[in-house]
Structure 1
Amino acid sequence: MRSIFARFLYLTAVTLFLASCATTSLVDSWHSPSQHELRLHKILVVGIFKTANERRIYEDILVSELSQRGVEALPGHTFIPADVKVDRQALENAEKEAHAEAVLTMQTVRIEHQQVLQPGYTTTYPDYWYPPAFPSWNLNGYYGSMTYYEPPYIATYTVANIQTSLFDTRNGKLLWAATIQTSEPGNVISVSKDMAGIVVQSLIKEGMI
């Protein structure tokens, strides 16, 4: 029983640590100083990811976020079929068909595994303890105690960098770019929601939408 409880404490500590690392944040951003007066009204959103499902989720969520800000946003999957590779030619064809002012692309550019050493800890808890919810047992309090020591351990988690870029469809020039980092790349819906909020807020700050 004691070993089970000790194991529970260890797993809880690991879970809490990994949860504390699970964030999506803006690493850096850039915008073209020559385009400070450009305000966009129609944007084509294209995700470049491994699977069509992942691409569709990222596109749809960002399109929804942009639409709430009054931008006519179009998901790339309505112009580029799932079985077509998203390359330069596919983007150019989609741009022409969508008649968009700009195209916003999203792509995972780096995935790495990071390790963090967590220090050990000592926990003391009652031995032969009975909960007061059962007073009929007439065994209130506890008798003695037990000390559990968890040695240091190495926690490993995955970090992914997603590059987002905004291009002017008239001349192909880069208008804005940002790097977004997440420690939970497998949670596509959660990450895409966080990323959409970050992207839109950055574009608003730069006066582009």
Structure 2
Amino acid sequence: MVEIGTRPARNRLNPRLGLSLLWLVAALVAACATTHLKDSWKDPRFSGAPFRKVLVIGVSRSDANRRLFEDGFVQALRVSGTEASASYSLLPEEGPLPKERIKQAVAKTGADSVLVTRVLRVQRKVDVSPGYVGPGPGFYGWYGATWAAAPEIHAYDVMTIESTLWDIKREQAVWSGISESIDPKDVTKVTRELAEALIAKMKEDKVL
């Protein structure tokens, strides 16, 4: 109850509640992601400064997928503050890229590193949620319970992706990550999630 002569207090969000809501939103966003970084490695001998210019190469038999991936990753790198170039604009060839052509692209872009991403494998997985049929009142009750308890079957693909960052001057790998993408139907979505996960980890490991 508001006393006469006083102004009603404004609704204020409890700081602890606000923080809890932020964590909840973050958890929901993470739950919606279908691509996750499973493991990563950094060369323990690497002690140089973070790389500043990255040439992005997507290994794919589909030219369209390669372009979508490289464009998405380059955009994410630039947003994070790292200069990057897509290889397809300089190396439009399909199939394996010749060594000399890659060298020319590196020289033209001034890249000090090359990020190569490739698909290692795609596995078909099946999840079965078994139902339970309890004792029912006679055949009809049992049959109804059996229908209701039919197992749910969900089949989906899991794509394993390897991304390796190379110190192009020394021609040595300095960082590598293994990621998994569930039901990778949308190349743009997979690229966005992969870029977010990899760039964050590479910056944490101080290679970018």
Q: TM-score range by the shorter chain?
A: 0.7 to 0.9
Q: How many residues align?
A: 166
- Letter of the structure 1 residue corresponding to residue 196 of structure 2: G
Q: Secondary structure at the match of 2:176?
A: strand
Q: Which residue of 2 aligns with 1:159?
A: 158
Judged with a 3 Å threshold, the aligned counterparts in structure 2 of structure 1 residues 99 and 86 are, in CA distance, closer, same or farther, namely farther
- My pick for the range that moved more, 38-47 or 90-99, is 90-99
- Letter of the structure 2 residue corresponding to residue 84 of structure 1: E
Q: Which residue of 1 aligns with 2:73?
A: 62
Q: Is the 8 A contact 1:36 1:206 kept in 2?
A: no
Q: Is the 8 A contact 2:124 2:158 kept in 1?
A: yes
Q: Which residue of 2 aligns with 1:77?
A: 88
Higher fraction of strand: 1
How far the C-alpha of 1:31 sits from its partner, in A, is 0.7
How far the C-alpha of 1:22 sits from its partner, in A, is 6.8
Q: Secondary structure at the match of 1:194?
A: helix
- Partners of 2:149 and 2:106 lie apart in 1 by 57
How far the C-alpha of 1:120 sits from its partner, in A, is 2.5
- Letter of the structure 1 residue corresponding to residue 78 of structure 2: S
Q: Which residue of 1 aligns with 2:59?
A: 48
Q: Does 1:34 align with 2:45?
A: yes
- Letter of the structure 1 residue corresponding to residue 91 of structure 2: I
Percent pairwise identity: 26
> What TM-score, normalized to structure 2?
0.73
How far the C-alpha of 1:200 sits from its partner, in A, is 0.7
How far the C-alpha of 1:88 sits from its partner, in A, is 5.0
1:120-168 Cα shifts (integer Å, max 9, x gaps):
279xxxxxxxxxxxxxxxxxxxxxxx97614114321100011100011
> What TM-score, normalized to structure 1?
0.72
Alignment root-mean-square deviation, CA: 2.2
How far the C-alpha of 1:95 sits from its partner, in A, is 2.0
Q: Which residue of 1 aligns with 2:10?
A: none
Unaligned runs of 5+ residues in structure 2 are 1-30, 134-143
- Letter of the structure 2 residue corresponding to residue 173 of structure 1: Q
- Partners of 1:28 and 1:36 lie apart in 2 by 21
- Partners of 1:77 and 1:25 lie apart in 2 by 26
